[in-house]
Amino acid sequence: MSKLNIVLFGPPGAGKGTQSEFLIKKYGLVHLSTGDLLRAEKEAGTELGLMAQEIMGRGELVSDEIVIGMIRNKIEANTAAKGFIFDGFPRTQAQAVALDAMLNAKSEPITAMLALEVPEEELVKRLLGRGATSGRADDSNEGVIRTRIREYENKTAPLKAYYSAQGKYKAINGVGSVEEITGRLMKAIG
């Protein structure tokens, strides 16, 4: 059976974290979050981790090359996995092209890009609610929330087009109960 490789997308507050946990359990996937990978590589003191730490220490973004290297390491360390769920990656078309090249070389291409679609007003409401309970500063300021949503939309629009051209982009209605949304994701996976 071929591996199930899913790119999970959605703006801040769309429910990616909640839904990815369910998909990981349901399908036995390995979760690939670039934030988690960066922290793990830094803690392990790997060459990539040390390079990333130096770059982030200067307040710069870690290059595609380093991020792809970390993703490659994680994929190679989990060869027995039933598949992967990519969370927060790819963020650019260059990253998507590099990911495709890496996975296609193993004959394990991306199965689908599932994008949780939630209206902006609902996202703002959810994030302000989360900010009130979590104390996260970036979830407590409506202006910052709207900027993050705009940033997501600007950065991901090209990726939607990229995956649409491959017939892999699937928009998922991200409004409803957790169970309803999970059901829509499972239906899209097939």
Among candidate residues 26, 39, 106, 136, the one labeled active-site is 136
pLDDT in tens, 45-82: 989 888 888 887 887 878 888 889 889 989 999 999 99
Reported in sequence order, the residue ranges of 10-129 that DSSP labels E, i.e. its strands, are 30-33, 83-87, 112-117
Among candidate residues 82, 91, 146, 160, the one labeled active-site is 91
Among candidate residues 130, 146, 160, 168, the one labeled active-site is 130
The residue assigned the tokens 């829509």 is 184
Region 167-185 average pLDDT: 97
Is 130 an annotated catalytic residue?
yes
Is 91 an annotated catalytic residue?
yes
Among candidate residues 3, 126, 148, 184, the one labeled active-site is 148
Number of C-beta neighbours around residue 187 at 10 A = 10
Is 184 an annotated catalytic residue?
no
Among candidate residues 3, 16, 74, 126, the one labeled active-site is 16
pLDDT in tens, 83-119: 999 987 898 889 999 999 999 999 999 999 999 999 9
Is 146 an annotated catalytic residue?
no
pLDDT in tens, 154-164: 888 889 999 99
Beta-carbon contacts of 36 under 8 Å, excluding residues fewer than 6 positions away, are none
Is 136 an annotated catalytic residue?
yes
